[in-house]
Amino acid sequence: MRGILKFFAQITDFFALGMRVLGGLFIRPYYVSQTIDQMYLIGVQSLPIVALTSFFTGMILALQSGHEMAVFGAKMYVGTLVSLSLIRELGPVLTGVVVAGRVGAGIAAELGSMKVTEQIDALRAMGTDPVKKLVGTRFIAGLVVIPVLTILADGLGIFGGLFVSNSTFGISPQFYWKTVIDALDIDDILMGIAKPFVFALLLIWVACYKGLSAEGGTEGVGRATTQAVVISSILILVGDYFVTQVLIWILGM
């Protein structure tokens, strides 16, 4: 019974944190320089691993699907499969999970260390709202840069598919791009753009909450960091299904 009550208390605190962040977005000060710093830390520093992951995902997807499609004489349309798979699904999900592993862990560890060393209490003593300064800036930065990372990941994954399609299956770049462009419509693009905003919200929210709720010294910080990565990754995968269902209903796909 105590465990159930603790769980619901944590859920309440989780949503309360989100409401505090939302309410603080329209109140001065705005901490513009800190937000830009977080954009660099979350976006620019995550670019190499996101680029590497997406490029090789596109290559693997083209290689696997090309051999299977060749059996049915349809290998010329590898570009269609690669582009639709990446833009609708793999691009947003892989970017979200990769960023959750790198950035989510970093945010939880940083805020957790500040919590156990009482730096957050010191901010309050100086009249600074720690939620607005530490959490709000990360929310804004994540909502800006993670969708941009996803768009770059989609493009690099499609280029990876082009490399394999041309070198392995002899598909010309012109025909590959024709199949990519013909396959995509505005609904696919909207779905691929909408998902990263939801995933960014989830992973930043979870990471900040676990960091601010860390307790028990360095061991507690490590535990909070692990939980942040695991929970945010699971929420991204589970949320992907529900977001896809909602978007299919809204877009009438």
**What is the per-residue pLDDT across 189-227, written as a single tens digit (0 to 9) for each?**
888 999 999 999 999 999 999 988 888 777 888 888 999
> Torsions phi, psi of 9, nearest 5?
-65, -40
Say what the pLDDT of residue 200 is: 94
Q: How many residues does the chain have?
A: 253
- In this predicted structure, what is the pLDDT of residue 231? 93
- Which residues lie closer than 8 Å to 42 by C-beta, 6 or more apart? 99, 103, 138, 141, 142, 145, 146
The angle formed by the CA atoms of residues 159, 163 and 164, to the nearest 5 degrees, is: 120
pLDDT at 99: 93
User: How many Å apart are CA 112 and CA 221, to the nearest integer?
Assistant: 5
**Angstrom distance (rounded) from CA 17 to CA 120:** 15
pLDDT on residue 1:
66
Query: Mapping DSSP to helix (H, G, I), strand (E, B) and coil, where does residue 213 land?
Result: coil
Identify the pLDDT of residue 65: 87
The pLDDT value given to residue 5: 80
Q: What pLDDT score does 217 carry?
A: 78
* Residue labelled with tokens 């901490």: 31
Where helices occur in the chain by DSSP H, the ranges are 2-24, 32-39, 47-71, 78-85, 91-99, 105-116, 119-125, 130, 137-169, 173-183, 186-212, 217-251
pLDDT score, position 119? 86
Residue 149's pLDDT is: 94
**pLDDT for the residue numbered 253:** 62
Triad 153, 155, 158: Cα angle to 5°: 105
Low-confidence ranges of the chain (pLDDT < 70): 1, 253
pTM (predicted TM-score): 0.89
Neighbours of 25 (CB within 10 A): 11
